[in-house]
Amino acid sequence: MSSIAPFHLAFPVADLARTRDFYGRVLGCPEGRSSDEWIDFDLFGHQIVAHLAPARADGPHHNEVDGHDVPVPHFGVVLDWDAFQGFAERLRGHGVTFVIEPYVRFAGLVGEQATMFFKDPSGNALEFKAFKDRGQLFAK
């Protein structure tokens, strides 16, 4: 697979101090530039920016996938298969509550993947996943 260009994602948060702790200490994301209203983080080589923003009026939305209520919207990173379990253990060690516990989705089918969902302190949903065969990432 060719080199993937880093993506950039800006997302709303309610509290920068709690966000800095969660993404920095809990997830292990190095911090980049920041101001009184935003913080850049390096999320596995991708630039994510937490922007202080008022709470949204609309409630959470979920879609059913493989028997689970998947929160929408969500974002995350596709990790290497071996790194996935270590990252899940890191999250457990920090007391992160999973929305969907780590498990293998679509077992034995096209697109088989390990996945987990959890939320940051502002309620933003994150999904981290891994494929034994990363070539299955866009397989139909």
Range of the domain at 25: 8-53+68-136
pTM: 0.85
* Tally of domains in the chain: 1
The answer to whether the CB of 121 falls within 8 A of the CB of 11 is: no
CATH number, residue 47: 3.10.180.10
What confidence tens digit (pLDDT) does each residue in 15-62 have?
A: 999 999 999 999 999 999 999 999 999 999 999 999 998 776 677 788
Whether residue 59 is contained in a domain is answered as no
Q: How far is CA 58 from CA 55, 73, 89, 100, 129, in A?
A: 9, 12, 32, 22, 27
